[in-house]
Amino acid sequence: MIDTHVHHWDLGKFRYPWLDDAAFDDLRKDYLPADYRADSADATVEGWVHIQAEVDHELDSVAETAWVESLAGDASASGLPGPLACVVYADLRSANVREVLSRQCRHPLTRGVRQEVWFDPASTRADIPREDLLSDPAWQEGYRVLAEFGLSFDLLVWPAQLPQAAAIAAEVPAVPVVLEHLGLPDPTNDPGLRTWRTGVATLAELPHTCVKLSAFSWLGNPRDEHAVRAVASQLLELFGPQRCMVGSNFPVERLAGDFGSLYRLVLATLWDLSNEQRADVLAGTARRFYRIAQTDSARDETST
């Protein structure tokens, strides 16, 4: 498995304003590759994609990328699994977005950008923007700039935003897009998931889009296996296994249970797939989307 959604943080090195929220008290401690390896010990993980962890936006986002790359280097030197790619932060509204992206791309692990766009004007959480970035012309221009650097975009939106996000993505097919966290289906506020289903179907029509089967606890805490399988099966049908990938969202998903139970739930959602299709969801899609070379150990696993 290539885990496409992992966060690392070091509270002594960076400030993470969202961790000040009382809901995340149990996460307020360092989370490094050794911690992830301990959590995922019951699964066969080749490596993972580090997703920017919402370091204070007043700080230089490239510093986080350089730090994660040093973690990857340490893991590689020790012959241990580690980050294989980075999805970095950049404010796409910024007048100097090209300069920031140029600096980010000097780091070989940089593959894409994530700027969270799931806005809520009433939110007090630091990781939920109060402004509608998708409707901001400056943000849309910055999104187009991603194509100049060959970067992908990790999309985090509410279901009602999906049609607008799909329209923006359609205008720039050179920017591959992956929808995070199942598209945030919300059974409580979207009865029958009609808004979610319409939105993900619209996005799935674009051939340069993928989806992450991640953040399963969004459908119930502890994780609701029936609900997860129902949603995952719809995404597998809409996008196809070749455009679906798996992400643990660790350590955030730790709030809903251990990694082993999550991994078993992932395998349960893929039970009806062929071996080839299952291999795509577990690693193949991630490898293609994030341009990850196959390691010798992964080739050995595949051959056996």
What is the pLDDT, as a whole number, of residue 220? 86
CA distances in angstroms from 67 to 8, 11, 32, 74, 83, listed in the order given: 10, 13, 11, 11, 11
For residue 65, the 8-state DSSP code is H
Whether the predicted pLDDT of 303 surpasses 80: no
Phi/psi of residue 245, nearest 5 degrees:
-140, 165
Domain membership of residue 57 as a residue range: 2-303
Indicate which CATH number applies to the domain containing 51.
3.20.20.140
Give, as one character, the DSSP assignment of residue 273: S
The number of CA neighbours under 13 Å toward the Cβ of 267 is 10
205 burial via Cβ count (<10 Å: 0-12, 13-18, 19+): exposed
- How do residues 110-165 score in pLDDT, each as one tens digit? 999 999 999 999 988 889 999 999 999 999 999 999 999 999 999 999 999 999 99
Neighbouring-strand partners of residue 47: 2
| Structure confidence by residue, pLDDT tens digits, 231-282 | 999 999 999 999 999 999 999 999 999 999 999 999 999 999 999 999 999 9
* Tokens representing residue 245 in the block: 């990938």
Phi then psi dihedrals of residue 10, to 5 deg: -135, 105
Q: What average pLDDT does the segment 11-29 reach?
A: 96
> Which pLDDT belongs to residue 157?
98
Q: Into how many domains does the chain fold? A: 1
Place of tokens 């289906």: 185
Q: Dump pLDDT digits (tens) for 65-118.
A: 999 999 999 999 999 999 999 999 999 999 999 999 999 999 999 999 999 999
> Could you tell me the maximum CA-CA distance found in the chain, to the nearest angstrom?
53
What is the C-alpha separation between 154 and 176, in angstroms, rounded? 9
2 or 304: which leads in pLDDT: 2
Per-residue pLDDT of 29-57, as tens digits, reads: 999 999 999 999 999 999 999 999 999 99
Q: How far apart are CA 266 and CA 228, in angstroms?
A: 9
Cα distances (angstroms) measured from residue 18 to each of 7, 56, 138, 142? 13, 9, 25, 24
